[in-house]
């Protein structure tokens, strides 16, 4: 549990830093363009990178708190044991989806590894690393949830 708390705090800090960086870069670039007819060439690209990482880290944070939108009309009217089984099935679908996301992101990393973003020179594959981090972490959290649900169903 201590590792999860460290992960949670780290992801929150990185998401906040990404948001602050993104807002500051976009704001200052807009001010520079409006008042001085110039801008920071790399700021839009870096803001896009910050946005992507903020979103993917946010996915993990919301998933940990079970905050994603769900439609529970079916499971709200069934017994607890059936609810656990349906939750396990739902989690298995999440595992499959996260496997596809990880695999797709890996293929995109291979495809874009040699391409560089024009303003920053950072490899274009850097954007897809966030998807792998997010999907693998989500996969692990969901696998632990399945384990807990199976353990509690057997009792």
- Model confidence over 60-77: pLDDT tens digits? 999 888 878 777 787 888
How far is 46 from 65, CA to CA, in rounded Å?
A: 29
Asked whether the beta carbons of 117 and 48 are under 8 A apart, the reply is: no
Spatial CA neighbour of 50 closest among 72, 77, 17: 17
- Model confidence over 11-57: pLDDT tens digits? 899 999 999 999 999 999 999 988 888 888 888 899 999 999 999 99
How far is 53 from 47, CA to CA, in rounded Å?
A: 10
Q: Which residue has the tokens 């998807």?
A: 131
Task: Name the pTM for this structure.
Answer: 0.84
How far is 104 from 97, CA to CA, in rounded Å?
A: 11
Phi-psi domain of 94 (left: phi exceeds 0; alpha: psi -120 through 50; beta: other): alpha
**H and E: helices and strands count for the chain:** 4, 0
> For residue 17, what pLDDT is reported?
94
Torsion angle defined by CA atoms of residues 118, 120, 121 and 124, in that order, rounded to the nearest 10 degrees: -80
Q: CA 43: distance to chain centroid?
A: 22
Mean pLDDT for the chain overall: 89
- Model confidence over 73-88: pLDDT tens digits? 878 888 888 888 888 9
How far is 113 from 18, CA to CA, in rounded Å?
A: 23
Domain boundaries, given as residue ranges, for the chain: 2-153
- Model confidence over 100-151: pLDDT tens digits? 999 999 999 999 999 999 888 899 999 999 999 999 999 999 999 899 888 8
pLDDT range class, residue 99, cuts 50, 70, 90 = very high
């Amino acid at each position: 549990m201590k590792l999860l708390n460290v992960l949670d705090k780290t992801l929150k800090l990185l998401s906040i830093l990404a948001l602050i960086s993104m807002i500051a870069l976009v704001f200052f670039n807009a001010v520079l363009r409006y008042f001085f007819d110039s801008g920071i060439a790399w700021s839009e690209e870096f803001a896009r990178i910050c946005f992507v990482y903020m979103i993917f880290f946010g996915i993990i944070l919301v998933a940990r708190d079970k905050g994603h939108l769900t439609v529970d009309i079916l499971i709200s009217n069934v017994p607890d044991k059936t609810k656990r089984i349906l939750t396990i099935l739902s989690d298995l679908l999440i595992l499959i989806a996260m496997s596809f996301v990880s695999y797709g992101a890996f293929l995109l990393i291979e495809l874009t590894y040699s391409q560089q973003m024009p303003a920053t020179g950072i490899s274009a594959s850097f954007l897809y690393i966030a998807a792998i981090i997010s999907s693998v972490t989500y996969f692990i959290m969901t696998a632990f949830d399945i384990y807990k649900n199976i353990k509690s169903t057997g009792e």
